[in-house]
Structure 1
């Protein structure tokens, strides 16, 4: 941390949210001259006591632009109503992990954010003590006001000039959770007024004088190569200024978005005709991998072959999931301005540092010349972890040396995306004398052996003979993490399989989960990532809160699921009613219990849990993106089915109260939803679903047991 007095009054406190401030950090002397490309993040305290906190992490809708400053403000002990929040740019010198992904921002920032606020508070106390000529130990700060033993009071704004001359105490005492005034209390999203009134916040809102707009024609199928193109009609469109090829893509640049879009529609292109993959090919390839021997073993406990050979019974099931698009409300877009002196990038991206490095390497420029400013994102869900659209903007601007914004149409976004990969799981368990003796999980995935599978989550450690194998197929179709990567489909497969397994051996699905978790307590296996005690607590609480142990209302069928991911433990109970006309389930209520440690902002936390559950139910029920000859067969929402407002259930959220450090929250509620829904459908229909989307297979004999 560093302090600087402002020429116009007030003080700047330099903070690095995720690392100690680097010694070479230079502080600006006048707030009016601040260049957001030249510093990391600061607390700015004005003479009137108002505080501005510059937030470093990308805001994707997960609420970090609100919750991270709340943590600083808590320890600073300033009323939340006196805090203003602004987005900081990428600064690789003074930040670490400026990333929105993995539900990790609060988890990684918790300790340093608190210490930053506490150190600043202590510095202001020392400044007040100096003005009063008393010992700092006689003073205390509360709600932006410092009081001494005599009852004298000074506001933070009254002492900022003195504070700027002091050394900062690096390890000031932190508050106890019982003393929190901001953390654990509801706070409205800091951008909400701008969002609902349409103020410019998002990438598509960004404007710069003289900027142009670029629409890109990309290959019509993954794996296609551009042979030639005719742009004669495109150039006749009023407003079109440039048309050129880069790689296997064609850029149409215009003075407005409409002209760029219409110009692209006029393009005539010829592509090669090599036969490419279809959904049927993926099914055959992945099943072939599961039947083969070309696996990488990620974990092997005991002796699977032995216990399977000695078993009274072996239960084996294969679960299947399709490709899925990310379906962000705001399609991909980014601004770039490449000149001889610098490369300026602005827009919505979850990985600004990765994009900065990629652009610098591609253009052959010093990375110090590449700046990245972040806008708020209209959704991401992992799609904006991949900066292909950033690279397109940089290449186009570099080619024509104009400031441009590349923008995707909805059709571009859905057909030229980075998708959740299609995955198949094969799970087998051995039973001897009515007890589970072995568990074998195999994954066959498109493009990655780690997008869908984690080897050290439950039931790892609870079953003595346990093995996890993965196999991978490399496809032309581009894939990327999708909300709750590794677990978004695996949770459905495992929780469905476990419920069937428990039913076969005649075990209560709740009690046996608790019993298996009991076996993990006290383990010395450092590979185990979940806490059996915390998982047991969310299970017991979900049973109590949902009324699971009592008769369900007439016509209601319940399913249970419990899962750990992104460092958080979640249990869910889904209540459904079957529609007599359609034969499809109507999800009426979901009771969810979450242990994510201390909840910083309950309002934001509930929103994340509710959204994750609805997203999980919607995609389990409806999500499907088939391919034919390398091309997606759905290009907009009239065919790609999302859950609708009237289909969204009531969601009742309960958080386990403890004083443990916060863990992930944007993703952990999604994975258990599909499993709980599938288990409820089994109770209602007697059918166990083996594939998603559920609506595709309910009412058929395909991919169904029973």
Structure 2
């Protein structure tokens, strides 16, 4: 059993009160001391929710409600959060529901979605809330029945006393429970006693999604609001002159607004705005670097050879290791820009009214939206409200607030409510992208094929550090040098699902297979040998748990029957990111004379799995996303403008191109860790290494289908 002491209770119980005869419990997400107990009616609760952090409420009917602070974009926290509360509460799951909370930085200390951090951050807080509610309900039942609390049991929302034969549901005790004080310490369940956590549960929003209920930003509508669409300047350019006469003449257009290097057409609906935007006559001129993909290729190569690098890690004597090496392996890997491509393009509602502003829409960082609006308007942030809708995808794109800024600017200009809507072309041409990156790897081997030296130099855009210097194989090699170079680009870049590691994992894991080949070792053998070195004789700081790396590697080798079928060519990739460990093996078989990608086997250690259904979806989604972008997707620029403007030229993976995916989970005994991102990074490396095993062709650039090494390979993809 786990026990939370007085010292660990500061973010524990916020409010105990009644809601029209119901129990209302709030719990603090930001480690504030609990206030005195308050009695609240339902009307008072609805009027005063801004005064609390997050809430667990129990109605007289026995219904349990939790307000979830983190934006939901498909990572399933609106389902997994209440599962955790219900577990400790021993609630009847059919009576549990969750409501999205609006922005309130006084109540929530991490009200954002990013970095796969929602569950790791909230795990213990949610458990404490459920356990606290259970404690006061049991105390209330004990007082009502005049029996010892330790003789009372709770199961599926029913409180029972076996000796007296008395029982009742939660709602029958909420009025008495509201008079109870928070305990000095609360006991959490032993994980072996979990009944809800670890069971497959459907998405709590599933019915609303498949029946088309308005949940997303694009669904939002308010009587009297205007619509707006934006024409943005190419990257590195600014507006020189503009003629909006033809655009203003379109029926349904009510205004044209210019701000910064953007022009907004405003009207009664989006259809006339699409036409009007095309009629804008805008002349641009250079305002800094106007970049093209050909320039980036040249610049990156030059920076790798001659650029001043930031040393991120240096262990041992690297120069000596390479001078005395029996063999040196070198390779360069590169990746292109990528767009985030959420299913729901950017949109946001804003209503500026004097020194106040109302914001509604899909954002991963609601406080950034508020701070951006406050800066534009010159008003206090507390004068701005942010209502968070469900997000139709994000993948890092909605960490930014540029589209919120546009909504605020237009609302202020027209002095009224407006909703900004981006088209798919806007999303691809005016976005913030996964930056292009180029890496150079070097490995020094001794006569026995052991890696005695390792070097990595990365060049990225607007990125600062392009590496993860404490990730494997750092710590497993005596002599290591890791360097990073950042190129300042006029093209806006942004975190893209599993930032940095989304490509670095592919490059590192592919290069490790090159090292294994040069050393005459099996790829699994090479990695296990390096893990043992890091475990028994680590060099410097380890940014990963070696035992967990070993476990997922061995498990994926077993689950995939690694090396046991000579007719199956396999590729391995193992990576740690966002607190979790994922190993993948891709299988290629010859089918009708063509290499065929048949399956991907994945083993994930994300600590305890709260909801197997959601976890399975996250891993599968990450693999499909990682595979599609590694194999097919490319975004190139010419004179500051993306050449790919819609899905006819920006190639995404198709359903028929998804192979069989087998998922497995290891319970390492740790609390839940990240899962929205960690399954993506290993996928490209597993597939590339399998392609090499099958064809002898090494793919060092993405997307694979555009590489000359891949041009005559007819790779089929089939699901069994």
**TM-score normalised by L of structure 1:** 0.95
Q: For 2:307 and 2:316, how far apart are their aligned partners in 1?
A: 20
Q: For 1:202 and 1:534, how far apart are their aligned partners in 2?
A: 38
What do you get for the CA RMSD once the two structures are aligned? 2.0
Q: 1:414 aligns with which of 414, 428, 453?
A: 428
Residues 601-624 of structure 1 show CA distances to partners (whole Å, capped at 9, x for unaligned) of 000000000010111111110110
* Aligned CA distance change for structure 1 residues 649 and 577 (closer, same or farther; 3 Å): same
Correspondence 1:482-631 to 2 at 5 A: 482-521=496-535, 527-552=541-566, 554=567, 556-577=568-589, 586-631=596-641
Partner of 2:463: 448
Partner of 1:240: 253
Tell me the secondary structure at the aligned position of residue 689 of structure 1. Answer: coil
Offset, 1:299: 0.7
**Are 1:469 and 2:469 counterparts?**
no
Residues 547-604 of structure 1 show CA distances to partners (whole Å, capped at 9, x for unaligned) of 113115x4x42111111111111111101246779x7x64221100011110000000
Correspondence 1:91-170 to 2 at 5 A: 91-148=104-161, 149-169=163-183
8 A contact 1:586–1:647 mirrored in 2: no
* Aligned CA distance change for structure 1 residues 136 and 404 (closer, same or farther; 3 Å): same
**Are 1:667 and 2:677 counterparts?**
yes
Q: For 1:64 and 1:345, how far apart are their aligned partners in 2?
A: 23
Offset, 1:39: 4.2
Offset, 1:397: 0.9
Partner of 1:285: 299
- Structure 1 range deviating more: 149-158 or 16-25: 16-25
- Structure 1 range deviating more: 613-622 or 128-137: 128-137
Partner of 1:216: 230
* Aligned CA distance change for structure 1 residues 60 and 657 (closer, same or farther; 3 Å): same
Residues 394-413 of structure 1 show CA distances to partners (whole Å, capped at 9, x for unaligned) of 11112222111101000000
8 A contact 1:40–1:89 mirrored in 2: no
Q: For 1:28 and 1:513, how far apart are their aligned partners in 2?
A: 59
Residues 117-174 of structure 1 show CA distances to partners (whole Å, capped at 9, x for unaligned) of 1111101111111212233223232211112242311211001111111112253110
**Are 1:252 and 2:262 counterparts?**
no
Tell me the secondary structure at the aligned position of residue 294 of structure 1. Answer: coil
Residues 226-285 of structure 1 show CA distances to partners (whole Å, capped at 9, x for unaligned) of 112111112222221221110110111111121222222221111115772111100111
* Aligned CA distance change for structure 1 residues 21 and 356 (closer, same or farther; 3 Å): farther
Tell me the secondary structure at the aligned position of residue 386 of structure 2. Answer: strand
8 A contact 2:18–2:41 mirrored in 1: yes
Q: For 2:340 and 2:590, how far apart are their aligned partners in 1?
A: 29
Q: For 1:31 and 1:186, how far apart are their aligned partners in 2?
A: 36
- Structure 1 range deviating more: 163-172 or 183-192: 163-172
- Structure 1 range deviating more: 25-34 or 161-170: 25-34
Q: For 1:607 and 1:256, how far apart are their aligned partners in 2?
A: 36
**Are 1:358 and 2:368 counterparts?**
no
Tell me the secondary structure at the aligned position of residue 360 of structure 2. Answer: strand
Partner of 2:46: 34
Partner of 1:73: 86
Correspondence 1:323-338 to 2 at 5 A: 323-338=337-352
* Aligned CA distance change for structure 1 residues 431 and 523 (closer, same or farther; 3 Å): closer
**Are 1:400 and 2:414 counterparts?**
yes
Residues 153-212 of structure 1 show CA distances to partners (whole Å, capped at 9, x for unaligned) of 121100111111111225311011111111000010010001011100111001122111
Residues 475-533 of structure 1 show CA distances to partners (whole Å, capped at 9, x for unaligned) of 00000011111201111111111111111111121122111101122567783121111
Partner of 2:715: none
**TM-score normalised by L of structure 2:** 0.93
Correspondence 1:176-187 to 2 at 5 A: 176-187=190-201
- Structure 1 range deviating more: 154-163 or 256-265: 256-265
Offset, 1:21: 6.1
**Are 1:437 and 2:452 counterparts?**
yes
What is the number of residues matched between the two proteins?
696
Residues 315-352 of structure 1 show CA distances to partners (whole Å, capped at 9, x for unaligned) of 11110100000011000001111112521111111111
* Aligned CA distance change for structure 1 residues 26 and 326 (closer, same or farther; 3 Å): farther
8 A contact 1:19–1:112 mirrored in 2: no
Offset, 1:31: 4.3
- Structure 1 range deviating more: 624-633 or 21-30: 21-30
Q: For 1:166 and 1:54, how far apart are their aligned partners in 2?
A: 22
* Aligned CA distance change for structure 1 residues 150 and 173 (closer, same or farther; 3 Å): same
Q: For 2:135 and 2:537, how far apart are their aligned partners in 1?
A: 42
Q: For 2:37 and 2:224, how far apart are their aligned partners in 1?
A: 33
* Aligned CA distance change for structure 1 residues 151 and 341 (closer, same or farther; 3 Å): farther
8 A contact 2:699–2:709 mirrored in 1: no
Partner of 1:264: 277
Tell me the secondary structure at the aligned position of residue 599 of structure 2. Answer: strand
Partner of 2:716: none
8 A contact 1:19–1:94 mirrored in 2: no
Offset, 1:701: 8.7
* Aligned CA distance change for structure 1 residues 536 and 216 (closer, same or farther; 3 Å): same
8 A contact 1:212–1:405 mirrored in 2: yes
8 A contact 2:604–2:664 mirrored in 1: yes
**Are 1:192 and 2:202 counterparts?**
no
**Are 1:14 and 2:26 counterparts?**
yes
Offset, 1:659: 2.6
* Aligned CA distance change for structure 1 residues 307 and 250 (closer, same or farther; 3 Å): same
* Aligned CA distance change for structure 1 residues 45 and 437 (closer, same or farther; 3 Å): same
8 A contact 1:350–1:384 mirrored in 2: yes
8 A contact 2:315–2:540 mirrored in 1: no
Structure 1: unaligned runs, 5 residues or longer: none
Tell me the secondary structure at the aligned position of residue 124 of structure 2. Answer: helix
Q: For 2:24 and 2:327, how far apart are their aligned partners in 1?
A: 69
Offset, 1:384: 0.5
Residues 5-41 of structure 1 show CA distances to partners (whole Å, capped at 9, x for unaligned) of 4463312211234544664998853248614655432
Q: For 1:501 and 1:277, how far apart are their aligned partners in 2?
A: 35
- Structure 1 range deviating more: 62-71 or 251-260: 251-260
Q: For 1:485 and 1:2, how far apart are their aligned partners in 2?
A: 35
* Aligned CA distance change for structure 1 residues 280 and 467 (closer, same or farther; 3 Å): same
Tell me the secondary structure at the aligned position of residue 564 of structure 1. Answer: strand
Q: For 2:200 and 2:272, how far apart are their aligned partners in 1?
A: 45
